[in-house]
Amino acid sequence: MPVTGKLNLDPAQVRQARELAARAGAPVTRLARTHTTSSIERAVLRMAGLDGADADGMPWVNRLAEAVRDSVGLQHGVALPVWDALARGGYPDLRTLAEQAAAGQVKFRLPDGAEGRNAREGAARSVGKGLEVIDRQRASRESMIAATRDPAPPWIYLIVATGDIYEDIPQAQAAAREGADVIAVIRSTGQSLLDYVPEGATREGYAGTYATRENFALMRAALDETSRELGRYVRLTNYASGLCMPEIATLAGLERLDMMLNDCMYGIIFRDINPVRTFIDQRFSRMVHARAGIVINTGEDNYLTTADAVDAAHTVVVSQLLNEYFALEAGLATWQLGLGHAFEINPAVPDSFLLELAHAQLVRELFPGAPLKYMPPTKHMTGNVFGGYLLDAFFNLAGFMTGQSILLVGMMTEGIHTPFLADRDLALENVRYVRDAAGRLGLSFTPDEFVVSRAHQVLGEAVGLLGRICDEGLLNAIGDGTFGVTKRPADGGRGLDGVIERADGYWNPAIEMLEATAMEEEHA
């Protein structure tokens, strides 16, 4: 149903909030445009078709990028030295070149003149083929949806994560048959801290399953089979975050994932990834997602697990506005912005449900065209399964009443253990009951109502915080613990050694092509 304004928000104040978010984000965007990272350069090689790993399990993209870095550096990009060496050495493919480079048998250089032009043409041709695969996968998604059916929102989003991809698949298919529209495969604990993407199908993850290209392909094929069986397209999501964000985004495009967790600050705050590395990597990853037609999910819900959900409500709105700015700047369309928020207010707080309605409706009206992702209670799931089931029902009700687009299924045993299949079945039954019994229950407020005044208060606090961030700088604000009460200085965290300032003459065929696509779509 069309979203209508119910909170009587001041349009001038909403415009001011977006203008401030753009001012706060612009310096970080300039940083991303003048730097690259080791993972971005590896993503170029992946897009050009290089995959596989050596006997120790280290991907060939890592070995080749490291050989270039050690020889001529990565400040000019990986493409020119690699495709120059490919042509000079007469290697049949990138895999052979990577094997020889890892053995120390290749000398790299920065070509110029006719040799430089030949290297550019070769790199552009190879990367272009990878983008063609991504384009075909996007078209394949559209064909699958046309051949089956696109479920009506809110899409019911359910998590699967056994650690074993071959156990995940039947669980995901069972969940889809019970009504799930989106299957999220949680990554193995700590994968975001690995500076390489594991290869192959994996069976030994920890509290999740490794994100690998083969795992993506296996789950995508299984859900396609189930989509045809049900006559309803089932979406697949994973995580493009951490030290390999650009590479995982590329693999997601190549294997037709539909959504990716891709937040501008989550990895900084909750995984201690260096802030500069994260912002540079997220811009590239979002350009890939834009081209692939992938919906991103942002992680503002996590702030409310470490900060108070009432006191920190405005920080969620600020982060959403920043995520919107960074996403649109990278070429994503509004329909791809799965901005996140959560039902995390302590149920013992008076008027807790009214406060939740105020926050959820505020986000809905601030981003009317975005497919918002609403997260269930986790912080206050105490192990009382009856209380938890009731709290999840209130969450589902708030989601339907405020027109949320993606509803993550809450589990009553969330605070006890990894939920069983039976727990998921009961959770989906909860969603179905609320949808069928009260799914058309809308909202109507008088101007002086509590919900309206609370929404206006949160928006005002968000505008005030954005003004402060513009004055002190976003990186400093993150360092001060503004988001999630966790301090992450710009010169700390993992991955800073993989940040490279671009030299004059830096060239990246993937960025060049992705930016050209974004400009064409913007003009269209």
Three-state SS string across 221-267, please?
HHHHHHHHHHCCCCEEEEECCHHHHHHHHHHHHHCCCCEEECCCCHH
pLDDT value for 133:
98
pLDDT category, 140, cuts 50, 70, 90? Answer: very high
Rounded CA-CA distance 360/314 in Å is 12
pLDDT above 70: percentage of residues in the chain: 97
pLDDT category, 523, cuts 50, 70, 90? Answer: low
- Report the amino acid identity of residue 515: E
Least confident of 138-147, 152-161, 244-253: 152-161
Asked if 68 contacts 54 with a C-beta cutoff of 8 angstroms, the reply is no
User: Per-residue pLDDT tens for 297-324?
Assistant: 998 888 888 889 999 999 999 999 999 9
- Nearest Cα to Cα of residue 309 among 368, 265, 351: 351
Rounded CA-CA distance 397/188 in Å is 31
Catalytic residue among 157, 210, 266, 374: 266
pLDDT value for 456:
96
Task: State yes or no: is 308 an active-site residue.
Answer: no
Catalytic residue among 301, 303, 389, 392: 301
Asked if 321 contacts 341 with a C-beta cutoff of 8 angstroms, the reply is no
Residue 450: count of CB within 10 angstroms of its CB: 14
Which carries the bigger pLDDT value, residue 383 or residue 407?
407
Which carries the bigger pLDDT value, residue 155 or residue 304?
155
The two three-digit tokens of residue 230, written as one number: 């049900």
Task: State yes or no: is 504 an active-site residue.
Answer: no
Rounded CA-CA distance 318/316 in Å is 5
Question: Whole-number mean pLDDT of the chain?
Answer: 94
pLDDT category, 96, cuts 50, 70, 90? Answer: very high
CATH number for 1-33+300-483 (one of 3.30.530.20, 2.170.130.10, 3.20.20.440, 3.30.43.10): it is: 3.20.20.440
The two three-digit tokens of residue 191, written as one number: 């994968």
pLDDT value for 422:
85
Least confident of 137-141, 242-246, 388-392, 438-442: 438-442
Asked if 266 contacts 299 with a C-beta cutoff of 8 angstroms, the reply is yes
Asked if 471 contacts 25 with a C-beta cutoff of 8 angstroms, the reply is no
> How do beta strands 259-261 and 337-338 pair?
unpaired
pLDDT category, 357, cuts 50, 70, 90? Answer: very high
Contacts of 38 (CB under 8 A, 6+ apart): 65, 69, 74, 195, 498, 500
Rounded mean pLDDT of 35-45? Answer: 98
pLDDT category, 394, cuts 50, 70, 90? Answer: very high
8: three-class secondary structure by DSSP: coil
pLDDT value for 524:
60
Rounded mean pLDDT of 396-414? Answer: 93
Catalytic residue among 84, 373, 379, 506: 373
CA distance from start to end of the chain: 27
Rounded CA-CA distance 492/494 in Å is 7
Say which DSSP state 279 is in: H
pLDDT category, 115, cuts 50, 70, 90? Answer: very high
The answer, yes or no, to whether residue 2 has pLDDT greater than 50, is no
Cα-flanking dihedrals φ and ψ of residue 455, to 5°? -60, -45
CA distances from 10 to 6, 15, 446 (A): 12, 9, 15
> How do beta strands 295-297 and 35-37 pair?
unpaired
pLDDT value for 421:
78
Say which DSSP state 256 is in: T
Contacts of 211 (CB under 8 A, 6+ apart): 185, 187, 188, 191, 197, 238, 239, 248, 251
> How do beta strands 337-338 and 295-297 pair?
parallel
Task: State yes or no: is 301 an active-site residue.
Answer: yes
pLDDT category, 478, cuts 50, 70, 90? Answer: very high
User: Per-residue pLDDT tens for 246-295?
Assistant: 999 999 999 999 999 999 898 999 999 999 999 999 999 999 999 999 99
Rounded CA-CA distance 213/236 in Å is 13
390: three-class secondary structure by DSSP: helix
- Nearest Cα to Cα of residue 236 among 162, 164, 148, 176: 176
- Nearest Cα to Cα of residue 64 among 193, 196, 190, 194: 196
Place of tokens 């290209």: 213
Say which DSSP state 440 is in: T
Rounded CA-CA distance 219/199 in Å is 15
Asked if 36 contacts 508 with a C-beta cutoff of 8 angstroms, the reply is yes
> How do beta strands 340-342 and 337-338 pair?
unpaired
pLDDT value for 417:
67
pLDDT value for 315:
95
Rounded mean pLDDT of 209-222? Answer: 98
pLDDT value for 1:
39
